[in-house]
Amino acid sequence: MRESLPQGWISTKLGELVQPSREMVQARTNGGPYLGLEHIEPHTTRITGTADPSSIKGTGVRFKAGDTLYARLRPYLNKTCVPDFDGVASGEFIVFQAVEWLAPRFLMYFLHRPDVVAFANAKSTGTHRPRVKWDDFADLAVGLPPLAEQRRIVAAIEELFSRIDAGAEALNRVRRNLQRMYAAVLQAAVTGRLVPQNPEDEPAARFLAEADRRGGPYPLPTGWLWARIEELAEVQGGIQKQPKRRPGKNAYTFLRVANVLRRELDLGEVHMIELFSGELDRYRLKAGDLLVVEGNGSLDQIGRSALWQGEIDPCVHQNHLIRVRPGPALSPDYLDVFWNAPSTAAAIQAVASSTSGLYTLSTAKVRRVLVAVPPISEQQRINLEVSRQLSLIDAAERVIDEATRRARTLKAATLRYAFVGRLAPQDSSDEPAEALLDHIKTALLARESSARPRQRARR
Amino acid sequence: MSDAPSLIAKLWNYCSVLRDDGLSYQDYIEQLTYLLFLKMADELTKAPFNRPPLVPAGLDWQSLLDRDGDALEVHYRHILAELGRGPGTLGVIFRKAQNRIQDPAKLRRLVVDLIGQEFWMAMDADVKGDAYEGLLAKNAEDVKTGAGQYFTPRALIRAMVDVMRPEPGMTICDPACGTGGFFLAAHDFVARNYPLDPDQKHHLRFEAFRGREIVDNTARLCQMNLLLHGIGAPEVDTSITVADSLQSHPGEHFEMVLTNPPFGKKSAITVVGIGGDVEREDLTYVRDDFWATTSNKQLNFLQHVKTLLAINGRAAIVVPDNVLFEGGAGETVRRKLLHECDVHTLLRLPTGIFYAGGVKANVLFFDRKPASEIPWTKKLWIYDFRTNQHFTLKERPLRYEDLADFVRAYNPANRHARDESERFRVLTYEDLIARDKASLDVFWMRDESLEDSANLPPPEVIAAKIVEDLEAALSEFAQVAQRLAGRGQPDGTQNLRRPTQT
């Protein structure tokens, strides 16, 4: 849809407004910092650093404070900026000198527009190092506003961008806090602070062989007690993969470490393994089993676990997965919550470390892990509440992701509106853009003719 | 005569009676205000004052006492309508006044048993003042009405006044005076710290304060609040004007400005109605004495406050975060302010202290200076009272003691002799203008709540932080959305306000 230009604007081509400056100089001797592609942040117009020119061999393009720099290489990265210092830029940049008929940063935001970025990307050539040429740009249509309005447009863009950035940053903080909230919910659950205790619950001691007053890492509410996994659950290792285990007449599905992610299963690819007599009963998984990864040496993989809900039956598991089958005193969901609580994760890490510096668990180590056991009815209440809160956190995370995506679209919309004159007001007392045209023509001509003696006019 | 606690108890008791009839705190205070004024005006006509009547006969307190039942209610409405037409203090109190008490029996009880039983003019200013303020505070807590945006926490006001140190003879302006909190605190400060001769007392009572408030109802509460605290008098013309401060310069300059401009509507997602309803926030004020033209109300108030100051006048203004970091007009205003004024102190306020939720605010202190080529700001001292501070309106409200360290660090006796501390750092002018967009949004302390520490706070604390950040994000995006929607006309026209030509 073509919109008519706002009052005071003229339609022109980019090549009629600016010309690249190709003043090549020795980076080392020119003076001023060196800007390489790596110093411009994609999509943000920010300069993140500079390089010491003395370390640069070869030539670059000279620029002055206020010039607009545009990266020709990989234009989809949308690297454009206006430095506030003089220096030398890599030859991968096109340098547009500042001109009096364009407001500061007007050209930069123009090149920053998503449709201009897409245009440049479409025109770029070269598979490994796609580049766009100035000649492709020169014909790009530009609606040129009056100079005073250009300044208002830039101000409006910067006002809105700074607010969008602030909003996006707040969303990032929310995302981080959602993750912490997740951990805090689990921690509250296993310390008795998520749901109230009910004095009429049958205390946990009811179900355990020895109701001994074992101590633990933190104080427990009434009715709870500490117990080791071996008192609460059956712990069993898995089947070691050997040549004799190649699937044959008696093959069964088995779970590998790769199938167990953090708190979820990936059953996209399941393998088969050969079992011998008596083994099926011993290794068969039941719904409610907790599968714990033994470890592969690195700290952050320790204690990785997931709950088995009986997705595939019959199914067995390999030896690097430890199977924990809760008895009557422990509900599987609560075990899953407890296992993932921050204090437990820390305890497991401590137990898993060894003198060699590697981290592994074993069935013996798992058996000895201390669990804070609430009364079974309280466990059910905890499970429900954890499930509820985690679903809220999940929903919130999805909303945040969506909002972040929309924030990016908001920036695109801002630019779109800005350059069709719908962001900043028109003012009929502005000198119309047309008045700039003659000035532009003479100025560009003067530039070319003065540039000629110094360098060959190169395209 | 009642003492403070029993009076407050009486007033609140009547309030609950009327709440059952559907009256909000706001409605109640409004009606109290009308009746109080009539009673006070009546007391002035009798001994020992014996002044000429302020209120026309037949519309006065006595005419209320003479009636009962439906006749009372009808007459009350008549009084409200008539008195609202007048000028001066009478006008401010009664402009667009409406009766909200449907039951005439309850109205009569209010008249005869509550208001009629006391001698308000003779009552200690502290007693009646505190009682009224107490009602205003309760009103502010009722967040649904949005009344909270007119009520700055008193602990904050006291701290600001304690560092600004008003003096006898000074004229103090608040261009967004709300319920008059700054005036009360300044009045109190001067009365407590200086021995005043009769002229100074007169000045303090009648000439020291000049306020503007755009909302009729809030202006009347402010007027009554001042009257009850012994500032001004019912028969003397008011110092509160009902007007939009941003429209134009008032024509006089002040030695001190203390203000907390409104932060905009709580429902930040307001749809600009198709073909109708342009929100006030959309208005862009075009003033020659402003540095930048913008629709950001708080930026405009900042510019306006600077124009209100006399040369070497001093200001303390509460501003939201976006005034400190916003690009475009915001950057222009900050650069100009840093150059033309001495912007010397910035207090970053914690969240959870204002009645409007999710507000991230600051207090900016600056002095206006004569024109100069050399920038006036040399050093900006920033006090971070936000990082790792947790306040809530109910469980952990802000008290004056919480700000005591700030007052001490500010060192009002000599603000050029300050020391850095964990929460108090100084930046130079060069540091500030070198920052991207000259943003004053500076933090250096580590936010413990974002650390991945072994000691996690309980989930509800994290949830509260999440809500805060979501509200901040929402506020920013809503403003942007509103800006984009407001400029939706193809011809780019929108509301430009220029000062009215004379």
Query: Looking at residue B145, what is its pLDDT?
Result: 65
Looking at per-residue confidence, does A78 or B448 come out higher? A78
Is residue B100 helix, strand or coil? coil
Q: Mean pLDDT across the stretch B260-284?
A: 52
| Model confidence band, residue B487 (pLDDT cutoffs 50, 70, 90) | low
Q: Mean pLDDT across the stretch B42-48?
A: 88
Distance from the Cα of B215 to chain A's closest Cα (Å) equals: 28
Across the interface, whether the CB atoms of B332 and A425 are under 8 A apart is answered: no
Nearest by Cα to A261 from A300, A314, A288: A300
| Model confidence band, residue B278 (pLDDT cutoffs 50, 70, 90) | very low
Nearest to A163 among B322, B487, B494 (CB): B322
Mutation site for B-interface testing, chosen from A154, A161, A162, A406 by largest number of B Cβ within 10 Å: A162
Chain A residues inside the 8 Å CB shell of B483:
156, 159-160, 423
What CA–CA distance (Å, rounded) separates B312 from A392? 55
Joined tokens for residue A430: 């502005």
Tens-place pLDDT, residues A318-371: 988 999 999 999 999 999 999 999 899 888 888 887 777 777 888 999 999 999
Across the interface, whether the CB atoms of B450 and A6 are under 8 A apart is answered: no
Query: Looking at residue A457, what is its pLDDT?
Result: 44
Nearest to A423 among B296, B452, B487 (CB): B487
Nearest to A155 among B284, B329, B472 (CB): B329
Tens-place pLDDT, residues B142-168: 766 666 777 788 999 999 999 999 999
Query: Looking at residue A53, what is its pLDDT?
Result: 85
Query: Looking at residue B452, what is its pLDDT?
Result: 60
Tens-place pLDDT, residues B177-209: 999 999 999 999 999 999 999 999 999 999 999
pLDDT of A170 over the 70 cut: yes
pLDDT of B279 over the 80 cut: no
Query: Looking at residue B146, what is its pLDDT?
Result: 66
Query: Looking at residue B134, what is its pLDDT?
Result: 83
Distance from the Cα of B425 to chain A's closest Cα (Å) equals: 23
Nearest residue in B to A152, CA atom = B328
Across the interface, whether the CB atoms of A160 and B329 are under 8 A apart is answered: no
Query: Looking at residue B464, what is its pLDDT?
Result: 83
Across the interface, whether the CB atoms of B326 and A180 are under 8 A apart is answered: no
Query: Looking at residue B491, what is its pLDDT?
Result: 38
What CA–CA distance (Å, rounded) separates A424 from B361? 27
The percentage of residues in chain A with a pLDDT greater than 70, rounded to a whole number, is 95
Nearest to A173 among B321, B450, B488 (CB): B450
Interface of B with A in 317-336 (CB under 8 A): 321-322, 325-332
Does any CB of chain A come closer than 8 Å to the CB of residue B27?
no
Chain B residues inside the 8 Å CB shell of A47:
none
Interface of B with A in 189-208 (CB under 8 A): none
Nearest to A346 among B454, B489, B490 (CB): B454
Query: Looking at residue A318, what is its pLDDT?
Result: 92
Nearest residue in B to A192, CA atom = B458
Interface of B with A in 373-392 (CB under 8 A): none
Across the interface, whether the CB atoms of A170 and B326 are under 8 A apart is answered: no
A with B: how many residue pairs have Cβ under 8 Å apart? 139
Q: Where are the alpha helices (DSSP H) in B152-243?
A: 154-164, 181-193, 198-206, 216-228
The percentage of residues in chain A with a pLDDT greater than 90, rounded to a whole number, is 50
pLDDT of B106 over the 70 cut: yes
- b/e A33-42 (16+ beta carbons within 10 angstroms → b): bbbbbebbee
Query: Looking at residue B271, what is its pLDDT?
Result: 38
Q: What is the mean pLDDT of chain A?
A: 88
pLDDT of B276 over the 80 cut: no
Q: Mean pLDDT across the stretch A241-245?
A: 86
Q: Mean pLDDT across the stretch B248-262?
A: 94
Tens-place pLDDT, residues B421-467: 999 999 999 999 999 899 999 999 987 766 665 567 888 888 888 88
pLDDT of B501 over the 60 cut: no
Across the interface, whether the CB atoms of B480 and A164 are under 8 A apart is answered: yes
Q: Mean pLDDT across the stretch A26-41?
A: 88
Interface of B with A in 464-493 (CB under 8 A): 465-466, 469-470, 472-477, 479-481, 483-484, 487-493
What single-letter amino acid sits at B202? H
pLDDT of A459 over the 60 cut: no
Chain A residues inside the 8 Å CB shell of B465:
173, 177
pLDDT of B32 over the 60 cut: yes
Across the interface, whether the CB atoms of B487 and A417 are under 8 A apart is answered: yes
pLDDT of A1 over the 60 cut: no
B153 preceded by a cis bond (ω within 30 of 0): no
Q: Which helix (H) or strand (E) holds B471?
A: helix B459-486
Across the interface, whether the CB atoms of B476 and A167 are under 8 A apart is answered: yes
Query: Looking at residue B164, what is its pLDDT?
Result: 97
**Which position has the token pair 């995302």?**
A175
Q: Mean pLDDT across the stretch B290-309?
A: 93
Chain A residues inside the 8 Å CB shell of B294:
159
Nearest to B437 among A162, A193, A422 (CB): A162
Burial tier of B176 (Cβ tally within 10 Å: 0-12, 13-18, 19+):
buried
**The dihedral formed by the CA atoms of A79, A82, A84 and A88, expressed in degrees to the nearest 10:** 60
Nearest by Cα to B234 from B3, B45, B28, B66: B45
Query: Looking at residue A456, what is its pLDDT?
Result: 47
Tens-place pLDDT, residues B48-98: 888 888 888 889 999 999 898 899 999 999 999 999 887 778 888 898 899
Query: Looking at residue A105, what is its pLDDT?
Result: 94
Q: Mean pLDDT across the stretch A211-240?
A: 86
| Model confidence band, residue B347 (pLDDT cutoffs 50, 70, 90) | very high
Distance from the Cα of B491 to chain A's closest Cα (Å) equals: 7
| Model confidence band, residue A5 (pLDDT cutoffs 50, 70, 90) | confident
Nearest by Cα to B230 from B191, B175, B256: B191
Tens-place pLDDT, residues A432-449: 888 888 788 778 777 767
Kindly report the backbone phi and psi dihedral angles of residue B158, in degrees, each rounded to the nearest multiple of 5, phi listed first: -60, -45
Q: Please spell the DSSP secondary structure of B385-436, one letter per residue.
A: -STT----SSSS---GGGGHHHHHHH-TT-TTS----SSEEEEEHHHHHHSG
Nearest to B469 among A173, A423, A424 (CB): A173
Query: Looking at residue B457, what is its pLDDT?
Result: 80
Distance from the Cα of A144 to chain B's closest Cα (Å) equals: 15
Q: Which helix (H) or strand (E) holds B35?
A: helix B25-45
What CA–CA distance (Å, rounded) separates B38 from B64? 9
Least-confidence region, from B240-244, B339-343, B439-443 = B240-244
pLDDT of A452 over the 70 cut: no
Chain A residues inside the 8 Å CB shell of B479:
163
Chain A residues inside the 8 Å CB shell of B327:
155, 157-159, 161-162
Query: Looking at residue B277, what is its pLDDT?
Result: 44
Q: Distance of alpha carbon B414 from its chain centroid, rounded?
A: 28
